[in-house]
Chains A and B, each alone.
Chain A
Amino acid sequence: MGYLVIAIIVVILFSLGSALIGMVKGGKEGSDKMFKSLRLRISLSVFLFVLLMFSGYMGWIEPNTTMLPTQ
């Protein structure tokens, strides 16, 4: 599960980077590339968030909610 989460984060970072390249390029082409990359990155982010919350709900992953038991 952890690896899947990391893999999605890596794709998110790539699309953010691709948006940056589009922005630097500019013009019609760059603007299109930027918008499409940002749209991909927000879609994946929302998906990852929902996946995390669902996995936590199902008990597939445990959040770092509780600290150590009090001494």
Chain B
Amino acid sequence: MSEQEYYIPHGTYWPIIGSIGVTTLFVGFANQMHGVEWGGSVMGLGMAIVVFMLFGWLGTVVNESVNGMYNKQVGKSFRWGMSWFIFSEVMFFAAFFGALFYARILSVPWLGGADNNMFSGATEALETSKYIWEGFQATWPLINTPGAIGQSGVEFSSGFALVDTWGLPALNTGLLLTSGVTLTYAHHALRKGHRNSLVFWMIATIILGVAFLGFQIAEYGHAYHEGLKLTSGIYGSTFYLLTGFHGFHVTIGVIMLTVILYRIQKGHFDSDNHFAFEGVAWYWHFVDVVWLGLFIFVYWL
């Protein structure tokens, strides 16, 4: 195949299998939400079809790549595909960090009467939050949404000592940053063609990722036990959405790293040609940075 030609894949049935899988998954999910008996099992079936499709489709792509059917143009399209995926991921997390920022810096202080706004009864600083929730004090973390509770005269914020910043969150940050270091060593080993050390550092990275997930589950158990739930005001919602989606991304990252380790064992990469590794490595570094941001903005600043 010449350098200019674009590789056109043969007809394939994987897209329709993917559609069937996703449809089954959501029909099951929707019915599960409505308490229908068969909802859960249909959801499981849909998930199984999606996983089957992923193995089949991505396996086909890997085979085509290994058999040298792709030229530089195809490689370039993979790189662009990855970067658009990354763009959507960055926007996704930007939205949740934005929600945290907006609630914490803007909307909660406004409700408490900050600035010159309609909630606070114009310029009379002492009559803060007179029109909406009288007596509302802007505090952070806000764990009780003012509303029915506030109007019935109950305090807006009840407090509790949450997780110790020095405990699990710091440990988890250390674990994840260490996994970033081990992955960097793996990357270096791959570029130098040192196979054994590449495998060693990859395994270390995967173990650290799994350890992070284990401690994160323990942290959730602790926080939930202390009374911090998804419904615990704007703080509870943003805390669980951000850390929850982050944990989900770490899970995906661990799966991808494991697949890459398998492909390393199969000898799919060499020191000059390892885009799949690069894509997954960047993803892992990104997830690492997201956690660092979470650790700093939730626990420190």
Contacts and interface: CB of A to CB of B under 8 A. Distances in A.
A66 B162 contact: yes
Interface string B146-173: 0000000001011111111110001001
Contacts of B140: 64
B289 A5 contact: no
Looking at chain B, what size class is its interface with the partner chain? Answer: 35 or more
B30 interface: no
Contacts of A71: 155, 157-159
B188 A35 contact: yes
B152 to A, nearest CB: 14
Contacts of B155: 71
A41 B289 CA distance: 9
Interface of A: 2, 5, 9, 12-13, 16, 19-20, 23-26, 28, 31, 34-35, 38-39, 41-42, 45-46, 48-49, 52-53, 56, 61, 63-71
Given A49-B292, A65-B161, 20 more contacts: A16-B285, A19-B282, A23-B83, A26-B79, A34-B278, A35-B188, A42-B285, A45-B177, A45-B288, A45-B289, A49-B174, A49-B177, A56-B165, A63-B299, A65-B165, A66-B161, A67-B161, A68-B139, A68-B159, A71-B157
Interface of B: 75-76, 79-80, 82-83, 86, 139-141, 143, 155, 157-166, 170, 173-174, 177, 180-181, 184, 187-188, 191, 272, 275, 278-279, 281-282, 285-286, 288-289, 292-293, 295-296, 298-301
